[in-house]
Amino acid sequence: MRKPVIAIDGYSSTGKSSISKVIAKKLGLVHMDTGALYRGVTYFANTHYSNHNGEPDLEQLVKNLGKIKLEFRKEHDDLVLYLNGEDVSKAIRTNEVSQNVSLVAAKKEVRDFLMETQRSIADKGGVIMDGRDIGTVVLPHADFKFFLTASTDERAKRRFLELKGLGIETDIDTVRNNLLTRDKIDSERDVAPLKKADDAILIDNTTLDKNQTIELIVSYLKDF
Ligand code: DC
């Protein structure tokens, strides 16, 4: 029996990745957090092509995309992101990466570079992929599409707690400002902007916890 292809898009810190991970386990699907790929490219740019004001030199990055090898390796039931053989799963969550990732993700060359990795995974079916343009651009023919949103305050609180859990020091205002800036850049960019696909189901989980959001999504998947 063919397994479904599911696209989960939406704003930062609506729980897309952690929710997708649980649903993947429940239904025996492969989960791909596509934001991690954009973060991996940004980490590479920050490390190698940072200019004097701390921003990545996008021209240099684009010229050198061929030097980047990103892969997810399965470790203890989790997919861990490796960049050129180095585990970067924690390094990609820092504020430095969060601050620059939307600029990097707005480059068409970067998006084209990551497209192949994303589509090749979905070709086999049985996948749940989360990001910003999965239902609109990467997998327009997905069997199910969801678009997640929540209030800014709730999202800032969630991201702050997530970073704290990772041992990353920050404050709630920095986190909130970063979310708002990223939302703006992600939604207004020319290439593959963050936007709900016409046929996506909208879920506002401001007042829903992680399990309630999962139950709601799974209730739509029952008929597959
Ligand atoms: O999901 P996240 O917050 O880790 O994503 C980080 C950034 O990557 C996000 O601000 C925009 C970009 N991104 C994107 O442009 N397209 C995707 N499919 C996934 C993420």
Mutate which of 183, 186, 191 to test ligand 1's pocket (most atoms within 8 Å of Cβ)? 186
Query: Ligand 1 pocket, 37 CB below 6 A?
Result: no
CATH number of 5-33+96-214: 3.40.50.300
Q: Please report which confidence band the pLDDT of residue 85 belongs to, taking 50, 70 and 90 as the band edges.
A: very high
pTM of the model: 0.93
- Strands 30-33 and 127-131 come out as parallel
Length of the chain: 224
Q: Please report which confidence band the pLDDT of residue 117 belongs to, taking 50, 70 and 90 as the band edges.
A: confident
What number does the ligand 1 atom closest to the CA of 182 have? 10
Mutate which of 129, 132, 133, 189 to test ligand 1's pocket (most atoms within 8 Å of Cβ)? 132
pLDDT at 217: 97
Strand partners, 81: 72
In this structure, what is the dihedral angle of CA atoms 213, 214, 216, 217, given to the nearest 10 degrees?
120
- Strands 70-75 and 78-83 come out as antiparallel
With CA atoms as reference, report the closest residue to 208 among 217, 196, 199, 200: 217
Number of other CB atoms surrounding residue 126 within 10 Å: 17
Query: Ligand 1 pocket, 131 CB below 6 A?
Result: yes
If you measure from the C-alpha of residue 1 to the centroid of ligand 1, how many angstroms do you get, rounded to a whole number? 32
Question: Does the pLDDT of residue 78 top 90, yes or no?
Answer: no
If you measure from the C-alpha of residue 72 to the centroid of ligand 1, how many angstroms do you get, rounded to a whole number? 16
Strand partners, 70: 83
With CA atoms as reference, report the closest residue to 106 among 177, 16, 168, 181: 181
Task: Please check whether residue 175 is in contact with residue 160, taking contact to mean a CB–CB distance below 8 angstroms.
Answer: yes
